[in-house]
Amino acid sequence: MGFASAALVVSNAAAQTRPAGSASAPRPSPAFTQLTDDGCCTQPFFSADGHHVLFLDKPTATAPVGIWSVAVDAPLSPPTLFTERLGPFSRDLSLALDLQNGQTVIERLRDGKRWTVNNGGRPVIFSLDSKRIVWTVLQEVGGFDVRRAQIYVADVDGRNARRVATRFGGGPLGWLPDSKHLLIGGRANHNDPGPTLSVLNVDTGALRDLVAVERLRGASISPDGRMLAYFVAQARDASQNGMYLLDLTHPSPVPQRLNFFGAFRWRDARRLLYIPLRPGAPGDELWQLDVATGRTERLIAADAGSPFKIANGDWDVARDGSKLVFLSARDRNLWLVTLP
């Protein structure tokens, strides 16, 4: 694969380069549709079918705090209450996590059935098929970069709980789409020189080390589980700081350094959307990277007259990649973009 300004970076290895990917001619910016008014909400995200945008809000003085919803085909319509549970939620929005009174409670939203997971009141991460959960038992003393983290997996009802790995200064970073592999990071042993990124099969215990990487942040797995986007910040070796892609399927993957730094979301298995960090710009820009070819394309240009200036990193992409929603810093309303 070729990428713009592609510099392959491996810990303790010399950088390599590949030919840069080309950029497409810029498109005209797409139209924006205002979804809410009078200022609102935070943390917008799409329903699984992409027909609704959900968000955290208390729309009136008498309304409850909760997750509210507006239909994308009925902009500026009054929001409806989805649930008073604040999440986090399973990917299909069927389950909600509720930490209360030192207990971990999971609620099935369609009928309100609730059950307690015996894990000491710790937060869990749902697998993508909503059938499993993972959590971490973290050592209470010591530096965060060396604390022991015991990783546990169980069925979503809390049964069959078992420890699947121990890491120091790390933990689980996310489920792969098959819901039987976990991406984990950290030191395998307390005295290891640095952390390692690995893929763990929670059924067999098989572990595949990928790459040594320090201060990995923002890990985001592509929808097909083949690629990982992430950034490195405040590394001891400052030359390692930056944005990266990693092929999770390669037997000896090499991190691919990208030529931007900013926010990013997967549009689909092949395309990564990103918003470069450009302080002082009149607005935000949205770019798209084809991770197979390295081709980049600007989808939305920076414009002082556009609502596209995102507040607090609050934006989301529909599951089918067709739409983007964001909270505008201009007016504190939610806006919808149909992507080209």
> At residue 240, what are phi and psi to the nearest 5 degrees?
-85, -15
Q: pLDDT tens digits, residue range 209-251?
A: 999 998 899 999 999 999 999 999 887 878 888 999 999 999 9
The token pair that represents 96 in the structure block: 């909600």
Strands (E), 132-222: 132-138, 148-155, 162-175, 181-187, 196-201, 207-212, 216-221
- Cis preceding linkage at 88, omega within 30: yes
pTM of the model: 0.89
For 174-186, what is the mean pLDDT? Answer: 97
Q: What is the mean pLDDT of residues 301-309?
A: 95
pLDDT at 302: 95
Look up the CATH architecture of domain 7-338.
Answer: 7 Propeller (2.130)
Say yes or no to pLDDT of 5 above 50: no
Measured CA to CA, the distance from residue 167 to residue 184 in angstroms comes to 8
Rounded Cα distance, 25 and 8, in Å? 26
pLDDT in tens, 89-146: 999 999 999 998 999 999 999 999 999 999 999 999 999 999 999 999 999 877 777 8
Of the candidates 312, 234, 230, the residue with the CA atom closest to the CA atom of residue 272: 230
Q: Which residues pair with 17 in a beta bridge?
A: 7
Domains of the chain, by residue range, sit at: 7-338
Residue 47 pLDDT > 50: yes
pLDDT of residue 7: 29
Residue with tokens 């993972």: 134
Q: What angle do CA 80, 85, 90 make, to 5 degrees?
A: 100
The number of residues making up the chain comes to: 340
